[in-house]
Amino acid sequence: MSAPDKVTSAHLSRFAYLYVRQSSLHQVRENRESTARQYDLKRRAQALGWNTEQVVVIDEDLGLSGASGSERSGFQRLVAEVGLGRVGVVMGLEVSRLARSSTDWHRLLEICALADTLILDEDGIYDPSHFNDRLLLGLKGTMSEAELHVLRARLLGGQLNKARRGELWMNPPIGYVWDASQKLVLDPDQQIQGTVRLLFETFRRTGTALRVVRHFGTEKIGWPRRIVSGVHAGEIVFATLDHSRVLHILHNPRYTGAFVYGRTRQRKVVASGRVRHRRLPRAEWKVFIPNTHPGYITWEEYEANQAKLLVNAGGYGPDRRRSPAREGVALLQGLVVCGICGQRMTVRYHVSHGHPAPDYMCQRRGIETAQPICQRVPGAGLDQTVSQLVLEAMTPASLDVALQVFEELRARRAEVDRLRRAQVERAREEAGLAQRQYLLVRPEHRLVADSLERQWNEKLTAVQQAEEKYRRMSSVEGPDLSPEVREHIHALACDLPRVWNDPRTPARERKRMLRLLVEDVTLVRDRAIRIQLRWKGGATTSIEQPLPLGAPDLRRTPAAIIEQVRALATEQTDQQIARTLNARGLRTGTGQPFRRLTVRYLRTTHGIEGLGAHLRRAGWLTVTEIATQLQVHPQTAKRFGREGVLRAAHVDDKGDMLFEPPSGALPRAHPGKRFRDRRRYPQLAPHVRKGVQYAD
């Protein structure tokens, strides 16, 4: 069927849509002939019978790629109009102008076939509802997509080939510049170079990217940034350092002097249609050429930084066994591993005597399965035990560590001071440049002279502000340490146990010192707490610690005192036992002095017999029994016991007495004869009860 035969009155009654597209803005500016050819298709539509008012031009997608239709609003508008049956013909210079994706192209063909819409290109008119035309259009769409793939493969192949030789040009990271021979070298600006070195040194010292940002903010040190576009492209400005930039620099292996390519992989998210980049492991990098240019750090230090950042990323992954040191008082926070299930243990705090006390809990699996937690280990005594082990391990190397810390602090302060001076020098150089520009202008160019004079004044103001900031920060730090102060600090640093136990030492610093020696700590709670420390070198230390006492045990009288009460009960009454224990400096479980009722309660609770029971078992007699045997009145028998005529003893605090069975001649009453002449035993001490003395 010829082209005019395909165009019917139904097609002419609808609109003719002309779709104009170029792949990039460069093509829009340079390839103007192609754009003109696309607009010229309007005459083809008019020649086929469409009026000028019926021809609609869609050119809002100029400068956009045809690889996908999701970002092209003009193409989406075209598809919508075709689906509504308003379009009689869709015109494009070639298939590639409409779509370079088979998905978008075949979707358009399907809708055109359903809506009875024709397709016109430079070669002719096609009816998608006819098999032959649709077959030809499908082949053209496939070739268009294949052409895009070939072009992309050629570009990426050439790019990869240059990357394998280490010759691929890329924007240099901050701290590097390209020299005249296109070699990557360190930035000759000493301020920029020193700032980059300070970042790596601060991370080496602090161990976290957040503390690097905090250090730069506290010291008022700006981070250099290179403007990449606009009229000021290539210039360096100093701005505030943020956390994401620190992470980007720490993850960049080019600072080790290596050339790398292909560290990330693109992946299009189906839900949003956006492209995301996933960082690949070292083994999957396409190109890695070490030592191609000078580096700020070594490759070994880079790998150590990556391992440290991975440990700090406590929020990523369910299998994290470590976490960075935090501000809490729990010494083993982030290092404790459950010895039962192998999961990482977390920290929970409770208040004890007005102070926070840590508990190490293995609760991850219990939370996930709604079951009881694996184990809970009190941490107060545990932290003290581990602290003692660490101090014993640190003592031989304490002097070397203290000297290194002292030298590091001095070098760090000198580096910060040098960078501050560099900021002042840069401000002075900019002011000098503005002055020279002002002096070179001709006097008759008043407008230019006024502008340059204003810039010169602004630079002079910036110099004054930089100098004032330098003086203020230098005065805050104070002068250098005197020899006497250095000796004092040296003596203090040598005594690491004193520094460790100093209440002014932050808990976070103790944890960081602990992480220099200890890899992890495994805990198992059974009849005792089994502790296993794994040191950095791989050696292990295993110890046991008794379980902490519960609340009842903390108020319970110690067993050693109970045994003393048991021994004293064979010779003394409850009141006498209380006096004896108080004289020995002993106290009850609640810290109170002993009393008669306290001793009686202890005897009753622990089944300890009193003095009376012991003497009765030994055969001693009561007052009634001895009075019957002597054929005297009970009061006379008591007087015999008190005066020593008979051997007697007070058996309780009520004044009750027991008598030893008499041997030999029985004593009898002899009126008028004094007791001291008849005494055979020591006189019995008078019984005292409630301040009343009972005597004869």
pLDDT tens figures, 37-61:
888 888 888 888 898 888 999 988 8
Please tell us whether the domain made up of 171-312 is placed in CATH 3.90.1750.20: yes
Assign domain 3-160 to its CATH architecture.
Answer: 3-Layer(aba) Sandwich (3.40)
Q: Does residue 215 or residue 397 have the better pLDDT?
A: 215
The DSSP call for residue 299 is H
Give the pLDDT score at 691. 46
In the annotation, is 181 catalytic? no
Q: Does residue 481 or residue 418 have the better pLDDT?
A: 418
Extents of the domains making up the chain: 3-160, 171-312, 324-547, 553-608, 616-694
pLDDT tens figures, 426-452:
888 888 888 877 777 777 677 777 787
Give the pLDDT score at 197. 92
Give the pLDDT score at 319. 46
> Edge-to-edge, what's the strand order for the sheet holding 55-58?
55-58, 15-19, 87-91, 118-120, 125-126
Give the pLDDT score at 694. 40
Instruction: From the candidates 9, 13, 23, 144, give the one annotated as an active-site residue.
Output: 23
Q: Any alpha helices (H) in 165-230, and if so which ranges? A: 190-206, 209-218
Alpha carbon distance, N-terminus to C-terminus of the chain? 150
pLDDT tens figures, 376-389:
888 878 888 888 88
- Fold identical between 3-160 and 171-312? no
Measured distance CA(693)–CA(654) in Å, rounded = 12
pLDDT tens figures, 513-554:
787 778 888 888 888 888 888 887 677 888 888 877 666 666
Average pLDDT, the chain: 80
What is the DSSP code string of 358-387?
A: EEEEE-HHHHHHT---SEEEE-HHHHHHHH
pLDDT tens figures, 297-324:
999 999 989 888 887 775 444 445 556 6
Confidence band, pLDDT 50/70/90 cuts, at residue 401: low
Task: Count how many Cα atoms sit within 13 Å of the Cα of residue 393 in the half-sphere of its side chain.
Answer: 20
Query: What's the average model confidence in pLDDT over 170-187?
Result: 88
Give the pLDDT score at 179. 87
Give the pLDDT score at 689. 56
Q: Is the pLDDT of residue 200 over 90?
A: yes
The answer to whether 689 and 650 are in contact (CB under 8 A) is: no
Q: Is the pLDDT of residue 293 over 80?
A: yes
The whole model's pTM is what? 0.50
Give the pLDDT score at 302. 92
Q: Quote the percentage of the chain above a pLDDT of 70.
A: 83
Q: Is the pLDDT of residue 123 over 60?
A: yes
Q: Is the pLDDT of residue 353 over 80?
A: no
